[in-house]
Amino acid sequence: MMNHDRLELLREALPYIQKFKGKIFVIKLGGTVTEHSATLHSLAEEIALCHQVGIRIIVVHGGGHQVTRLARRLGVQQKIVLGRRITDDETLEIAKMIFAGKINTEVAAALHRLGVPTVGLTGFDGQLIRARRRHPQRIVDPETGREELIDYGHVGDIESVNGQLLALLLEHGYVPVLCCLAADAQGNIFNINADTIAAELAANLDAEKLLLLTDVDGILLEKGDPTTRLSRLTLAQFKELLASGRLAEGMLPKADAILGLLARGRTTVHVINGCRRNALLQELFTDEGSGTMIIPT
Protein backbone atom coordinates (compact mmCIF):
# COMPACT_ATOMS: atom_id res chain seq x y z
CA MET A 1 0.00 0.00 0.00
CA MET A 2 1.19 3.56 -0.74
CA ASN A 3 2.49 5.44 2.27
CA HIS A 4 0.47 8.66 2.18
CA ASP A 5 2.73 10.43 4.69
CA ARG A 6 5.47 10.40 2.09
CA LEU A 7 3.23 12.19 -0.38
CA GLU A 8 2.39 14.85 2.21
CA LEU A 9 6.02 15.90 1.95
CA LEU A 10 5.53 16.87 -1.68
CA ARG A 11 2.56 19.02 -0.68
CA GLU A 12 4.63 20.71 2.03
CA ALA A 13 7.32 21.44 -0.56
CA LEU A 14 4.95 23.10 -3.05
CA PRO A 15 4.98 26.69 -1.67
CA TYR A 16 8.77 26.60 -1.38
CA ILE A 17 9.17 25.31 -4.95
CA GLN A 18 6.86 28.08 -6.18
CA LYS A 19 8.72 30.72 -4.19
CA PHE A 20 12.22 29.66 -5.29
CA LYS A 21 11.58 29.07 -9.01
CA GLY A 22 13.86 31.33 -11.07
CA LYS A 23 15.72 32.63 -8.00
CA ILE A 24 19.50 32.49 -7.65
CA PHE A 25 21.08 30.32 -4.95
CA VAL A 26 24.83 30.30 -4.34
CA ILE A 27 25.82 26.93 -2.88
CA LYS A 28 29.23 26.67 -1.24
CA LEU A 29 30.63 23.19 -0.67
CA GLY A 30 33.06 22.86 2.21
CA GLY A 31 36.13 20.66 2.30
CA THR A 32 34.67 17.54 3.88
CA VAL A 33 31.62 17.62 1.62
CA THR A 34 33.67 17.07 -1.54
CA GLU A 35 36.15 14.66 -0.01
CA HIS A 36 34.16 11.40 -0.14
CA SER A 37 32.49 10.45 -3.38
CA ALA A 38 29.43 8.91 -1.68
CA THR A 39 28.75 12.20 0.16
CA LEU A 40 29.33 14.24 -2.98
CA HIS A 41 27.05 12.05 -5.11
CA SER A 42 24.28 12.14 -2.54
CA LEU A 43 24.50 15.93 -2.29
CA ALA A 44 24.68 16.26 -6.08
CA GLU A 45 21.24 14.60 -6.25
CA GLU A 46 19.84 17.24 -3.92
CA ILE A 47 21.43 20.05 -5.96
CA ALA A 48 20.16 18.46 -9.21
CA LEU A 49 16.67 18.45 -7.74
CA CYS A 50 16.93 22.18 -6.95
CA HIS A 51 18.13 22.80 -10.51
CA GLN A 52 15.27 20.72 -11.90
CA VAL A 53 12.59 22.77 -10.11
CA GLY A 54 13.93 25.95 -11.71
CA ILE A 55 16.32 27.36 -9.09
CA ARG A 56 19.34 29.01 -10.73
CA ILE A 57 22.39 27.59 -9.01
CA ILE A 58 26.02 28.59 -8.73
CA VAL A 59 28.29 26.12 -6.95
CA VAL A 60 31.46 27.37 -5.23
CA HIS A 61 33.85 24.98 -3.56
CA GLY A 62 36.85 25.09 -1.30
CA GLY A 63 38.88 22.05 -0.45
CA GLY A 64 41.22 22.93 2.36
CA HIS A 65 41.16 19.45 3.89
CA GLN A 66 42.31 17.87 0.62
CA VAL A 67 45.09 20.45 0.24
CA THR A 68 46.23 19.61 3.76
CA ARG A 69 46.24 15.90 2.98
CA LEU A 70 48.20 16.16 -0.27
CA ALA A 71 50.60 18.62 1.38
CA ARG A 72 51.24 16.09 4.12
CA ARG A 73 51.94 13.36 1.56
CA LEU A 74 54.35 15.68 -0.25
CA GLY A 75 55.97 16.81 2.99
CA VAL A 76 54.86 20.46 2.66
CA GLN A 77 54.22 22.07 6.04
CA GLN A 78 50.84 23.85 6.45
CA LYS A 79 49.97 26.79 8.66
CA ILE A 80 46.45 28.06 9.32
CA VAL A 81 45.84 31.28 11.25
CA LEU A 82 42.31 32.00 12.49
CA GLY A 83 40.77 29.70 9.88
CA ARG A 84 42.79 31.08 6.98
CA ARG A 85 45.54 29.14 5.22
CA ILE A 86 48.96 30.64 4.67
CA THR A 87 49.77 29.89 1.04
CA ASP A 88 53.48 29.66 0.24
CA ASP A 89 54.82 28.80 -3.27
CA GLU A 90 54.51 25.05 -2.79
CA THR A 91 51.07 25.28 -1.22
CA LEU A 92 49.86 27.36 -4.17
CA GLU A 93 51.01 24.58 -6.52
CA ILE A 94 49.01 22.08 -4.48
CA ALA A 95 46.01 24.43 -4.32
CA LYS A 96 45.98 24.70 -8.13
CA MET A 97 46.05 20.91 -8.49
CA ILE A 98 43.39 20.25 -5.87
CA PHE A 99 41.00 23.18 -6.42
CA ALA A 100 41.03 23.75 -10.19
CA GLY A 101 41.99 20.17 -11.05
CA LYS A 102 40.66 17.47 -8.81
CA ILE A 103 37.74 18.92 -6.87
CA ASN A 104 36.35 21.15 -9.63
CA THR A 105 36.27 18.20 -12.03
CA GLU A 106 34.76 15.84 -9.49
CA VAL A 107 31.99 18.24 -8.41
CA ALA A 108 31.08 19.03 -12.02
CA ALA A 109 31.14 15.33 -12.96
CA ALA A 110 28.89 14.41 -10.02
CA LEU A 111 26.28 16.87 -11.35
CA HIS A 112 26.90 15.94 -14.98
CA ARG A 113 26.07 12.29 -14.33
CA LEU A 114 22.64 13.43 -13.13
CA GLY A 115 22.01 15.31 -16.36
CA VAL A 116 22.85 18.78 -15.02
CA PRO A 117 24.72 20.93 -17.59
CA THR A 118 27.75 22.25 -15.72
CA VAL A 119 30.57 24.66 -16.56
CA GLY A 120 33.73 24.42 -14.45
CA LEU A 121 35.46 27.76 -13.80
CA THR A 122 38.18 29.50 -11.83
CA GLY A 123 37.60 32.94 -10.38
CA PHE A 124 39.41 34.66 -13.25
CA ASP A 125 37.49 33.00 -16.09
CA GLY A 126 35.41 35.62 -17.84
CA GLN A 127 37.09 38.22 -15.59
CA LEU A 128 34.68 37.16 -12.90
CA ILE A 129 36.78 38.11 -9.90
CA ARG A 130 39.56 40.66 -9.74
CA ALA A 131 41.81 39.98 -6.76
CA ARG A 132 44.89 41.53 -5.17
CA ARG A 133 47.52 40.08 -2.91
CA ARG A 134 46.66 40.43 0.74
CA HIS A 135 49.07 42.73 2.58
CA PRO A 136 50.66 41.29 5.70
CA GLN A 137 48.22 41.82 8.56
CA ARG A 138 48.46 42.44 12.27
CA ILE A 139 46.54 39.67 13.97
CA VAL A 140 45.80 39.33 17.66
CA ASP A 141 45.81 35.71 18.77
CA PRO A 142 42.63 35.40 20.90
CA GLU A 143 44.26 32.72 23.07
CA THR A 144 47.55 34.38 23.92
CA GLY A 145 46.48 38.00 23.27
CA ARG A 146 49.79 38.52 21.43
CA GLU A 147 49.89 40.58 18.27
CA GLU A 148 51.65 39.09 15.25
CA LEU A 149 52.38 40.30 11.71
CA ILE A 150 51.08 37.58 9.39
CA ASP A 151 52.11 37.30 5.73
CA TYR A 152 49.50 35.07 4.10
CA GLY A 153 51.61 34.50 0.97
CA HIS A 154 49.59 33.84 -2.19
CA VAL A 155 46.31 34.71 -0.54
CA GLY A 156 44.12 37.21 -2.28
CA ASP A 157 41.39 39.62 -1.34
CA ILE A 158 38.58 40.35 -3.74
CA GLU A 159 38.76 43.77 -5.39
CA SER A 160 35.74 43.49 -7.62
CA VAL A 161 33.26 41.00 -9.03
CA ASN A 162 31.85 41.03 -12.54
CA GLY A 163 28.90 38.65 -12.62
CA GLN A 164 28.30 39.00 -16.38
CA LEU A 165 29.53 35.54 -17.37
CA LEU A 166 27.59 33.90 -14.56
CA ALA A 167 24.39 35.74 -15.49
CA LEU A 168 24.85 34.58 -19.08
CA LEU A 169 25.36 30.96 -18.06
CA LEU A 170 22.41 30.99 -15.66
CA GLU A 171 20.18 32.49 -18.30
CA HIS A 172 20.93 29.51 -20.54
CA GLY A 173 20.34 26.90 -17.85
CA TYR A 174 23.96 26.07 -17.00
CA VAL A 175 25.21 25.45 -13.48
CA PRO A 176 28.60 27.17 -13.04
CA VAL A 177 30.99 25.32 -10.71
CA LEU A 178 33.59 27.72 -9.40
CA CYS A 179 36.79 26.96 -7.52
CA CYS A 180 38.36 29.38 -5.06
CA LEU A 181 41.31 30.63 -7.14
CA ALA A 182 41.40 34.12 -8.61
CA ALA A 183 44.03 36.39 -10.17
CA ASP A 184 45.17 39.98 -10.48
CA ALA A 185 45.61 41.82 -13.79
CA GLN A 186 49.21 40.54 -14.05
CA GLY A 187 48.05 36.93 -13.88
CA ASN A 188 49.32 36.24 -10.37
CA ILE A 189 47.10 33.51 -8.98
CA PHE A 190 45.72 33.73 -5.45
CA ASN A 191 44.02 31.39 -3.06
CA ILE A 192 40.84 32.95 -1.70
CA ASN A 193 38.60 31.60 1.03
CA ALA A 194 35.63 29.99 -0.72
CA ASP A 195 33.12 31.36 1.81
CA THR A 196 34.29 34.87 0.89
CA ILE A 197 33.95 34.21 -2.85
CA ALA A 198 30.49 32.68 -2.42
CA ALA A 199 29.28 35.67 -0.38
CA GLU A 200 30.69 38.21 -2.86
CA LEU A 201 28.98 36.44 -5.76
CA ALA A 202 25.71 36.24 -3.82
CA ALA A 203 25.87 40.01 -3.21
CA ASN A 204 26.82 40.81 -6.81
CA LEU A 205 24.06 38.67 -8.30
CA ASP A 206 21.51 39.67 -5.66
CA ALA A 207 21.00 36.01 -4.80
CA GLU A 208 17.98 34.84 -2.84
CA LYS A 209 20.11 32.51 -0.74
CA LEU A 210 23.69 31.73 0.16
CA LEU A 211 23.94 28.12 1.35
CA LEU A 212 27.13 27.22 3.20
CA LEU A 213 27.38 23.43 3.23
CA THR A 214 29.86 22.29 5.81
CA ASP A 215 30.61 19.38 8.16
CA VAL A 216 28.56 20.49 11.19
CA ASP A 217 24.77 20.72 11.59
CA GLY A 218 24.78 24.52 11.62
CA ILE A 219 25.95 27.22 13.97
CA LEU A 220 26.26 25.75 17.42
CA LEU A 221 26.11 27.62 20.69
CA GLU A 222 28.58 25.11 22.11
CA LYS A 223 31.06 24.10 19.44
CA GLY A 224 31.06 20.30 19.12
CA ASP A 225 27.59 19.82 20.65
CA PRO A 226 24.97 19.41 17.87
CA THR A 227 22.11 19.63 20.40
CA THR A 228 22.96 23.35 20.80
CA ARG A 229 22.23 24.22 17.16
CA LEU A 230 20.67 27.64 16.59
CA SER A 231 18.02 27.20 13.90
CA ARG A 232 17.27 30.84 13.16
CA LEU A 233 19.19 34.05 13.83
CA THR A 234 18.68 37.68 12.93
CA LEU A 235 21.71 39.72 11.88
CA ALA A 236 21.71 41.42 15.30
CA GLN A 237 21.64 38.07 17.12
CA PHE A 238 24.41 36.77 14.89
CA LYS A 239 26.59 39.80 15.70
CA GLU A 240 26.03 39.19 19.40
CA LEU A 241 27.00 35.55 19.01
CA LEU A 242 30.20 36.49 17.17
CA ALA A 243 31.09 39.03 19.86
CA SER A 244 30.58 36.35 22.54
CA GLY A 245 33.55 34.42 21.10
CA ARG A 246 31.63 31.19 20.49
CA LEU A 247 32.66 30.98 16.85
CA ALA A 248 36.16 29.76 16.07
CA GLU A 249 38.42 28.33 13.34
CA GLY A 250 36.68 27.80 9.99
CA MET A 251 33.50 29.43 11.29
CA LEU A 252 35.33 32.80 11.48
CA PRO A 253 35.78 33.35 7.74
CA LYS A 254 32.14 32.25 7.35
CA ALA A 255 31.11 34.84 9.94
CA ASP A 256 32.99 37.62 8.07
CA ALA A 257 31.35 36.55 4.81
CA ILE A 258 27.90 36.38 6.40
CA LEU A 259 28.20 39.79 8.06
CA GLY A 260 29.41 41.46 4.86
CA LEU A 261 26.62 39.96 2.81
CA LEU A 262 23.78 40.59 5.23
CA ALA A 263 24.85 44.18 5.78
CA ARG A 264 24.61 44.84 2.06
CA GLY A 265 21.57 43.08 0.84
CA ARG A 266 18.54 40.93 1.15
CA THR A 267 20.15 37.52 0.80
CA THR A 268 19.32 34.92 3.44
CA VAL A 269 22.25 32.76 4.57
CA HIS A 270 22.01 29.12 5.67
CA VAL A 271 24.69 27.01 7.32
CA ILE A 272 23.87 23.35 6.67
CA ASN A 273 25.51 19.97 7.15
CA GLY A 274 26.45 18.96 3.59
CA CYS A 275 27.57 15.54 4.77
CA ARG A 276 24.15 14.55 6.09
CA ARG A 277 21.79 13.04 3.54
CA ASN A 278 18.76 15.25 2.80
CA ALA A 279 19.90 18.11 5.06
CA LEU A 280 19.84 20.55 2.10
CA LEU A 281 16.37 19.44 0.98
CA GLN A 282 15.08 19.57 4.54
CA GLU A 283 16.36 23.11 5.04
CA LEU A 284 14.93 24.37 1.74
CA PHE A 285 11.65 22.53 1.30
CA THR A 286 10.27 21.79 4.76
CA ASP A 287 8.93 24.03 7.50
CA GLU A 288 11.19 22.32 10.01
CA GLY A 289 14.61 23.00 8.46
CA SER A 290 17.88 21.27 9.36
CA GLY A 291 20.58 23.90 9.84
CA THR A 292 20.95 27.56 10.79
CA MET A 293 19.19 30.33 8.90
CA ILE A 294 20.45 33.91 9.28
CA ILE A 295 18.14 36.66 8.06
CA PRO A 296 19.12 40.25 7.21
CA THR A 297 16.77 42.01 9.64
Contacting residues toward ligand ADP, per CB under 6 A: 30-31, 62, 64, 83, 214-216, 219-220, 223, 246-251
Measured between alpha carbons, how far is 186 from 124 in angstroms, rounded to an integer?
A: 11
SS3 assignment, position 148: strand
Nearer to ligand ADP, 170 or 199 (CB): 199
Cβ-based nearer residue to ligand ADP, 18 or 237: 237
156: partner contacted, choices Mg ion, ligand ADP, none (Cβ within 5-8 A by kind): none
With CB under 5 to 8 Å by kind, the binding choice for 122 among ligand ADP, Mg ion, none is: none
Distances (CA, A) of 26 to 59, 85, 89, 166, 237: 6, 23, 30, 11, 23
Could you tell which of ligand ADP, Mg ion, none binds residue 294, using a CB distance below 5 to 8 A set by kind?
none
β-strands 268-273, 56-61: how paired? Answer: unpaired
Q: CB count, 10 Å around CB of 183? A: 19
C-alpha distance from residue 175 to each of 54, 57, 142, 253 (Å): 11, 6, 40, 25
Closer residue to ligand ADP in complex, CB, 84/134: 84
x/- track of binding to Mg ion for residues 121-140 (CB under 5 A): --------------------
Q: Which does 7 bind (CB under 5 to 8 A by kind): Mg ion, ligand ADP, none?
A: none
According to DSSP, the β-strands at 137-140 and 147-150 are antiparallel
| b/e per residue 102-119 (b: at least 16 CB within 10 A) | ebbebbbbbbbeeebebb
Nearer to ligand ADP, 170 or 179 (CB): 179
**Binding residues for Mg ion restricted to 241-270, rule: CB under 5 A:** 250
Using CB atoms, what's the residue nearest to Mg ion?
A: 250
d(CA 114, CA 69): 29
Taking the complex as a whole, the smallest distance from the CB of residue 64 to ligand ADP amounts, in Å, to 6
User: Considering the complex, what minimum distance in angstroms separates the CB of residue 128 from Mg ion?
Assistant: 20
Binding partner selected for residue 255 from ligand ADP, Mg ion, none, CB under the kind-specific 5 to 8 Å limit: none
DSSP letter assigned to residue 287? S
Smallest CA-to-CA distance from 212 within 227, 224, 202 is with 202
Residue 274 touches Mg ion, criterion: CB under 5 A? no
**Taking the complex as a whole, how short is the minimal distance between the CB of residue 9 and ligand ADP, in angstroms?**
27
Q: Which is nearer to ligand ADP, 32 or 170 (CB)?
A: 32
| CB hemisphere CA count around 156 (13 angstroms) | 24
Considering the complex, state which of residue 86 and residue 114 has its C-beta at the smaller distance from Mg ion. Answer: 86
| Site of interaction with Mg ion (CB under 5 A) | 250
